[in-house]
Amino acid sequence: MLNVWETLMDTMKSMTDQDEDQPLHVGEVMACWLYLAGLELAKVSVQAGINTTTDNELKAILEEDMKLGNSQRERLHDFMIKEGITLPSAPEDMPKSDPNSVPPGVKLTDDVIANELSLKIISLIMRAAGAASESIRTDVGLLFIQFQTEKLAFATRLKHLMRKRGWIKVPPFYVPTGSQQPLG
């Protein structure tokens, strides 16, 4: 049977082991490259959302995501430069615009902006989880655990806003044949 205390102690000991002198393996390099590329693409999408929404709460959460993305981009960029990893290309920043001057046929709804942001956050959370679990070097694993934790905390606030506004997409309930219908 698994001894939880022993496992916790082994985990804590492995986190204190310094192994930065070991080279990164190709999976760690790819994880860094893909996560940074995802952050770069998410940045322009968030900028577009900030430029088009007139909802102050959604704008505030988009700006919060922009700050978190900038922080993660900077930390990962610095790590990759230090390790000699080639950086992915980054799209140019979106110019600022007045949300009221965006034509209706081009302007995304707040519902779409929030759900698109949610999908980007989910994608980055899953990418960070995979990268952390596949990392051999402790510093890489901890970097991605930190990224995942930050994105999870942010996702909670986004989900709260989406529920409040009725924007969250809920798949149909699954009710197996012969079982009772869900209460609702």
For the stretch 10-21, pLDDT in tens is 665 665 566 778
Q: 168, exposed or middle or buried, with CB in 10 Å at 0-12, 13-18, 19+?
A: middle
Contact partners, residue 60, CB within 8 Å, separation at least 6: none
Q: Percent of the chain beyond pLDDT 70?
A: 88
Phi, psi of 77 (to 5 degrees): -60, -50
Assigned fold of 24-90+106-165: Ferritin (1.20.1260)
Q: Is the pLDDT of residue 80 over 90?
A: yes
Q: How far is residue 152's CA from residue 145's CA, in Å, rounded to a whole number?
A: 10
pLDDT above 70: residue 33: yes
Residue range 107-126: mean pLDDT, rounded: 96
CA separation (Å) from 180 to 31, 54, 173? 44, 43, 12
**pTM for this prediction:** 0.85
Q: Is pLDDT of 6 > 80?
A: no
Picking from 92, 94, 58, 87, the residue whose alpha carbon sits closest to that of residue 73 is 87
Q: What are 124-181's pLDDT values in tens digits? A: 999 999 999 999 999 999 999 999 999 999 999 999 999 999 999 888 888 888 877 6
CB atoms within 10 A of CB 35: 24
Is there a contact between 158 and 115 (Cβ–Cβ < 8 Å)?
no
9: pLDDT strictly greater than 90: no
Q: Where are the domains of the chain?
A: 24-90+106-165
CA–CA gap between residue 173 and residue 181 (Å, rounded): 9
pLDDT at residue 84 is higher than 70: yes
Asked if 99 and 21 count as a contact pair (C-beta separation under 8 A), the reply is no
